[in-house]
Amino acid sequence: MRRLIFVLCSTLCLALSYAQAEELRIASASDLRWVMPTLVDEFVQQNPSASGRVQVVYGSSGRLFGQIQNGAPFHIFFAADESFPVALVEGGGANGEVFAYAQGGLALWSRRQAWDSDLEPGADLLRSRGRIAIANPQHAPYGRLALAWLQSLAEWPQLENRLVYAESAAQTAHFVRSGSAEVGVLAKALTEHNEMQHGHIRQLPDAPKVQQAMVITQAGADNELAHLFYAFIASEQGQAIFVDAGFYPHKEPE
């Protein structure tokens, strides 16, 4: 009887270990909130055994980077700025190569203000009277991108005092939806989703762009699903999904 109990317990422990090993935990920049579910669905279609085993947590890249550095058990890190995965590799917290999966751009989004394409973007933005929301540039790449673009405008001195800071790119949109801000300067890809179409959007194709990248963490080094998902993102199908979602193709190193 003792031997039988030992065998059953050992089998159960092995099964639980296998199940845990096969889970895929993704740390994702919040600007991927609309595209990541599509990527996961397509991946699961190709890998049915992954069904129900993929978990995604969204946040600002800086916050997620800090969590991974402190031992959060994510298997893949999708950042809105390649500097975070590069730093993770350099610090020994990631395994393998950093892959730039897309470039992100900026857009203006407002619930009430209709944009005037005859005006330069800065002058058009100046027409709004309320607060201007951007992600916190201290830990959100799109916040840094938005701030750099705003500071490049001749109208910057008149706009500076109207800024409010959100936690992430996604929360920037929430500030506008809730009325806490009149305008959001946020990730272009977020404005492509149906939920954003009830507002007014002005794309900023000439504004700076950010190279977004992913890496497999040390926690994901032996995780088969992590490596399969990484390969799927790098495939033509994965890259096409990003473009369809409003991202720019990633820039090849010169």
Q: pLDDT at position 193, please?
A: 82
Number of domains comprising the chain: 2
The tokens for 122 are: 């800065």
- The whole-angstrom separation of Cα 225 and Cα 132 is 41
pLDDT interval class at 22 (50, 70, 90): confident
Domain that holds residue 167: 106-204
Residue 78 sits in the same domain as residue 133: no
Closest CA to 50 of 22, 69, 25: 22
List the CATH number of the domain containing 232: 3.40.190.10
Per-residue pLDDT tens digits for 51-95: 999 999 999 999 999 999 999 999 999 999 999 999 999 999 998
Residue 98 sits in the same domain as residue 68: yes
Residue 218 lies in a domain: yes
Residue 252 lies in a domain: no
Mean pLDDT of the chain: 89
Residue 112 sits in the same domain as residue 143: yes
Residue 165 sits in the same domain as residue 236: no
- Is the pTM here over 0.75, yes or no? yes
Q: pLDDT at position 18, please?
A: 42
Residue 110 sits in the same domain as residue 194: yes
Q: Quick check: 178 pLDDT over 80?
A: yes
Per-residue pLDDT tens digits for 92-130: 999 889 999 999 999 999 988 889 989 999 999 999 889
Residue 8 sits in the same domain as residue 78: yes
pLDDT interval class at 47 (50, 70, 90): very high
Q: Which of 4-18, 25-39, 229-243 has the lowest mean pLDDT?
A: 4-18
Residue 72 lies in a domain: yes
Residue 65 sits in the same domain as residue 18: yes
Q: pLDDT at position 192, please?
A: 85
Residue 89 sits in the same domain as residue 112: no
User: Could you give the residue ranges of the DSSP H alpha helices within the chain?
Assistant: 2-22, 36-46, 61-69, 83-90, 121-126, 141-151, 156-159, 169-178, 188-191, 224-234, 236-244
pLDDT interval class at 12 (50, 70, 90): very low
Residue 215 sits in the same domain as residue 99: yes
Residue 99 sits in the same domain as residue 110: no
